[in-house]
Structure 1
Amino acid sequence: MVGKMDADAGMVRAYGDGLSQGQTGQLCKFIVNTTNAGSGALAVTIDGPSKVQLNCKEVAEGYEFTYTPMAPGDYMITIKYAGIAHVPGSPFKARITGQGKAAPWSEQSQVVVETVTKTSTTQKYASFPPEVASDASKVRTSGVGLQRAVLNSESMFNVDATGAGHNMLMVGILGPTIPCEEIRVRHVGGCQYTCSYICKERGDYVLVVKWGDQHVPGSPYRFQVQ
Structure 2
Amino acid sequence: MSSSGASPSPDASLASPTQEHAQVTELVVRTVIDPREEADKVRSNGPGLHRGVVGKPCYFSVDYSRAEGGKLGVSLVSPRQIVQRRAQLVRAPPESGYHYMFTPVCGGDHIVKVTYAGEHVPGSPFRVPVAKTSPTVQKNPMWIKAAANAAEVKCSGPGLTGGIVGRQATFTVDTRSAGDGELSIDVQYDKFVENLPKMKASFELNPADGSYFASYTTPEAGLYRINVMYGGQPVHGSPFLAKIEPR
Band the TM-score falls in, shorter-chain normalisation: 0.3 to 0.5
TM-score when normalising by structure 1:
0.41
The one of the two structures with greater contact order (alpha-carbon pairs below 8 A, sep at least 6) is: 1
Structure having the higher helix fraction is: 2
**Structure whose alpha-carbon radius of gyration is higher:** 2
TM-score when normalising by structure 2:
0.38
Structure having the higher strand fraction is: 1
